[in-house]
Structure 1
Amino acid sequence: MRNISQRLQKIDSMVSTHYQSIWDCCCDHGLLGLTLLKRQTADTVHFVDIVPSLTTHLESLLQKHFSADDYIQAWQVHCIDVAKLPLVIQDKQLVIIAGVGGELLISFIESIITNFQQNSLVPPTSEIEFIVCPVHYNYPVRQTLIAHNFILLDECIVTENKRCYEIIHVKKQFGASADIDNPLNKISPTGDKMWDLSIKSHQQYLAKTIGHYKRMLLAAKDNEKQTINRIIEQYSSLTT
C-alpha cells in the first residue's frame, strides 16, 4: 500500500480519540481510511466514493489485507453520493471530506446535516464531527460552518507540493444549544489558531490569498465590491 500524503498524515494525526464510526468520504484509493483502520480508531471505518471501479478495487484490497477477526467487522465500503451519506444515530462519529472543491464540500455538508436532522429519532444530545480540507474556496466554506453554528475543535495549515491547504476540525450539535459564544469555539472566516506568520509558507499563503481577492475586486460588479473589500480587510488584519 502506498504512503499517504502530508495532508492525509495531518488529518490522521488529528483523529486522536476513538469513534463508533468514521466516514472517509471521497476516499479515492482509501489511503486515509486504511491508515485509520490499522490504528483501530473506530468501531467501523466507512469508505465512501461514488466511483464504482474505485470502491470495487478497495473492497478487494480490504478483503485481502483486513479479513482477520480483528478487522472483519471494522470496515464497510459504500459506493454512494456523499450527499446521501447513511449516517446512523451514534454517540461519537466523524465525517472526513478532503480533496474536493469548496463549492462541492459546502453542498455535502449541508445535505448531510439536513438529512440527519430529518430523522425523527435523533436525540437532543446528538452531534457529528467533521474534518474538512477543501482544495479551494476556504472562506465560503468557513462562512457556511459559521452559519450552521458549528463549533471549532482544531484547525491547521499544511504545505504540500508548494501549496497550502486548510484542515478544519469542527463539531455540529443537534437539538441542543451549542456553546458557540465561547471564544475558543468560534470559527473565524479567515482562520485563527492555524496561522503562524513566523513561518514563510504561511506568509506566502496569506499574501497569495489577499492577492486572489484583490484580483477578484478588479473584475467585480459594483454590488460585489463591498463584500470583497471586507474579505480583503479581514485577511489583511491578520498581519497586524
Structure 2
Amino acid sequence: MKLSHRLSSLANMTSSHYDHIWDCCCDHGLLGTELLNRQLTKQVHFVDIVPELMQQLEQKLSHFYPITPHTESHWQVHCLDVAELPLDSFKGQHLIVIAGIGGNLMTQMVAGIINAHPSLTLDFLLCSVNNVAKLRAMLNANHCQLIDEQLISENRRYYELLYVRRPATNLVKQTLAPLISLFGDKIWQSHCAEQSVVIERYLKNMLIHYRKTANSKSAMDISLYEGYQHIADSLQLASEV
C-alpha cells in the first residue's frame, strides 16, 4: 500500500542506526512496515493497545514476513499501553515513533516513556494532529534535543514532524546540542515558493486559533499567541489574519 505524504515524510526522516524501532499507534502498522521494508533497523516493534488490531496486523506480518527456524525475526507485535514499552528488555539504541493521535495524548505518552526510562537515551519521531505547542513545551522541559523537524501539508491539514533525542539523565549536562524550541526553527525556513505558502498558511492558522483561545485569559495561550506573532513579525507576514 502506498504511504501517504505524511507517513512517507516520517519514514524519510528516519536514520538507519537503530537496533529497535517502536511503531506506536501509527496507522495500523503502515509506517513500521515501510521501515521494515527499508531494513533500517534490526527489529521493528508494532505497538497498540487494541487486541483486534494487533491480531490482524500479526496475521499480515506472518504472511508477508514469515518467521522460520532458518530466518531471523525482524519484527514483533506488542499489545500493550505505549507508556509501558519494555525498552529495558531490548539492548541497543531505540527510536519510538508515534503519529496520528492528538497532541495532548501524545504528550502524556511521551512523558510517561521518558519518566519510566531515565537511564536510557531515547529518540522520538512524532507527528501529532493538534496541540503541537504543548507537546513541544513538554519535550523542551525534558531536555529533548532537536535532530530534525519539518512542516508539511496533506489534505488541507498541516503537520509538524518532530525528530528529537532525550539523553539519559546522567548525560543531560554533557551534551551541547540545542533543545527543541517552543515554536520551531527549521519549520519556518523555506527553499521554494510552495513551502513558503505552506508556512504562511500554517502560521496564520495558528495565530487565528491562539488569538481566540487567548481571550480566555489563559497564560499559556496568551504566551503561545505572542510567540507565533513574533514569528510572523520576523517573517514579515501580515499580523492581521
Same fold by TM-score greater than 0.5: yes
Q: Secondary structure at the match of 1:149?
A: coil
- Separation (CA, whole Å) in 1 of partners of 2:203 and 2:226: 15
Moved more, 224-233 or 98-107: 224-233
Structure 1 144/71 Cα, relative in aligned 2: closer, same or farther at 3 Å?
farther
Structure 1 165/53 Cα, relative in aligned 2: closer, same or farther at 3 Å?
same
- Give the match for residue 53 of structure 2: 54
Is it true that 1:171 corresponds to 2:165 in the alignment?
Answer: yes
Is it true that 1:145 corresponds to 2:142 in the alignment?
Answer: no
Q: Pairwise mapping of residues 88-237 of structure 1 onto structure 2 (< 5 A)?
A: 88=88, 90-117=91-118, 122=119, 126-174=120-168, 175-178=170-173, 182=177, 185-196=178-189, 198=193, 199-218=196-215, 220-221=216-217, 226-237=222-233
Please tell me the residue identity of whatever aligns with 1:172.
Answer: R
User: Deviation per CA, 1:38-77, whole angstroms, max 9, x where unpaired?
Assistant: 1111111000111111100000000000015686510000
Sequence identity (%) = 35
- Give the match for residue 239 of structure 1: 235
Q: Secondary structure at the match of 2:187?
A: coil
- Give the match for residue 73 of structure 2: 73
Q: CA RMSD in A?
A: 2.1
Q: Pairwise mapping of residues 11-50 of structure 1 onto structure 2 (< 5 A)?
A: 11-50=10-49
- Separation (CA, whole Å) in 2 of partners of 1:66 and 1:206: 43
Q: Secondary structure at the match of 1:57?
A: helix
Please tell me the residue identity of whatever aligns with 2:214.
Answer: L
Q: Could you tell me how far 1:181 is from its partner in structure 2?
A: 5.0
Conserved in 2, the CA contact under 8 Å of 1:98 and 1:132?
yes
Structure 2: segments with no counterpart, 5+ residues: 237-241
Q: Could you tell me how far 1:37 is from its partner in structure 2?
A: 0.6
Structure 1: segments with no counterpart, 5+ residues: none
Count of residues in Structure 1 that have an aligned counterpart in Structure 2:
229
Please tell me the residue identity of whatever aligns with 2:152.
Answer: V
